[in-house]
Structure 1
């Protein structure tokens, strides 16, 4: 297990930048091929394999704890991201940020999270009742293989969409991405001491930043299916809570750039329409940059964090 985790970490640290560079160099061709369209199918396969493995190993009496802990991790990671980011919104003036149209963000697949949750439940139920114990090692290696494919697809897709001029304009989004990551890591540190989950695992869960399809499988390979499922659910809930919390907070009268920190990596795509709708063009632009930066950094950072001894 540890050797596989080390291999996966190495793949992300080395192969991901290479594939991203290839995607940037051949961005026209990558876009025409629609590489990013296949990402959702890779994620579906990963989640099903992880759930099948989890259902065959994790005892039923632990399921309630996994759900409870996932709620705690989701809420505390959001709170700490806000705590670290609110001072930024209070100090920095937002008026200089350009009004940029981000119409692509409105095409986010809002049904995918529900589909993935259904796949997770089906895989868990099948694993629990069938209990394919003789093939558990095969499932372990299968997840590793699927993660490798995920590296290739994500790297090519992100590389083809890199726009250096966009990053240069989005200073505030970069700052928020940094502070929200720091806040989430502090929540992982706090919960490590409160609930006793290993430090590397706790940090990995809290620093998933809503990217459940990355955090869940990675932690499954490193720490087993129970913590992998916890990572998936915690970050899935973070994304879903973004849809609920951002409108409520804005309606309540708090309309600040720091709200972008709630959505984490998802503000580039899935939750971007929420920010556009409730925080206008400027808020949507900052949200896009925040999610873009986190999406670029996390595949490098998360594999390193989960291998901390």
Structure 2
């Protein structure tokens, strides 16, 4: 865990306040302008590459392998615990298989691998922390605009008990998973990672800012694998015992976009609406929740 001096504490507090303010302001801005998707892609890819390059500078080959398998095991724990919580609120539903589509994720996987490899072989002395500061500001501006674009009053009015409960299951699943994993990781680091709710392009850079590139890459992979494991494990879990709320909670913030087709196929349109709302609210909450937890 990082121990900050007073000047450093003031700096991080300044960053957090400005970060949250930018997010809220640009949600409002997003009501009036539309952002080309290429801009958000460039910002996210740049962040992932910077963190991975930094991580490659800092870690050894054995550490990279360690990060890979520990992030996979951690994501499996989070997915399983979250789904099990949802079993307490079970209704029957039709089960179908869903194939994993990696094509849309290559734009995130490739800069991660490229950054790690280049950083491992090319050692440079750069103030990565300052670079990531500006990239995170750009990211939160882009996120704010995109959330503002999709934030519709009529959608918010349709918030159902299903969406609210699935959000609670997501949060409690993250907390319980962090507690179970705390013997192996510092508690705040793993809690921030699990609270990322599958939003890897935000959670990874955020943790890299506070805990360094190794934790940033780990947090990115845990949440990225959570998204992919949603497609892989949810149909398997449904064959044992169906839990629509648990399934939606596992998808986390991704249930409004990437994993939404799974819920349409697996649960039908009614639950798919709840999944969309679940993801929308978590997308609003995560950029605020993580900074607040970090301050505690």
Q: Same fold (TM over 0.5)?
A: yes
C-alpha contact (below 8 Å) 1:85/1:180 kept by paired residues: no
Corresponding residue SS for 2:251:
helix
User: Quick check: 1:176 aligned with 2:177?
Assistant: no
Q: Which moved more, 1:242-251 or 1:277-286?
A: 242-251
Q: How far is the alpha carbon of 1:35 from its aligned partner?
A: 4.2
Q: Given the alignment of the two structures, is residue 131 of structure 1 paired with residue 123 of structure 2, yes or no?
A: yes
Aligned match of 2:135: 146
SS in 1 for 2:295: coil
Q: CA deviation at 1:305?
A: 1.7
The 2-side partners of 1:6 and 1:58 are apart by 28
Q: CA RMSD in A?
A: 2.2
Deviation at 1:285, TM superposition (A): 1.0
TM-score, length of structure 2 as denominator length: 0.88
Structure 2 gaps, min length 5: 94-100
Contact 1:73 / 1:205 at 8 angstroms: preserved in 2? no
Contact 1:219 1:228 in 2 (8 A): yes
Structure 1 or 2: more helix by fraction: 1
> Secondary structure at the residue paired with 1:270?
coil
Task: Provide the residue aligned with 2:83 in structure 1.
Answer: 82
Report the counterpart of residue 97 of structure 2 in structure 1.
none
Alignment TM-score, normalising by the size of structure 1: 0.84
Relative to structure 2, which stretch is displaced further, 236-245 or 113-122? 113-122
CA deviation vs aligned residue, 1:133-181 (integer Å, no higher than 9, x gap): x21x1x2211110100011111111012112222222221122112211
Change (3 A) 1:89 1:159: farther
Answer yes or no: is the 8 Å Cα contact 1:85–1:258 preserved in 2. Answer: yes
d(CA) in 2 for partners of 1:274, 1:51: 30
Runs of 4 or more above 6 Å deviation: none
Residue 52 (structure 1) aligns with: 53
Aligned residues, how many?
281
Q: Is contact 1:113-1:236 (8 Å) kept?
A: no
5+ residue gaps, structure 1, are 95-108
Q: Aligned equivalents of 2:294 and 2:71: distance in 1? A: 17
Provide the C-alpha distance between the structure 2 equivalents of 1:217 and 1:290, rounded to a whole number of angstroms.
23
Aligned to 1:120: 112
Aligned residue for 2:189?
201
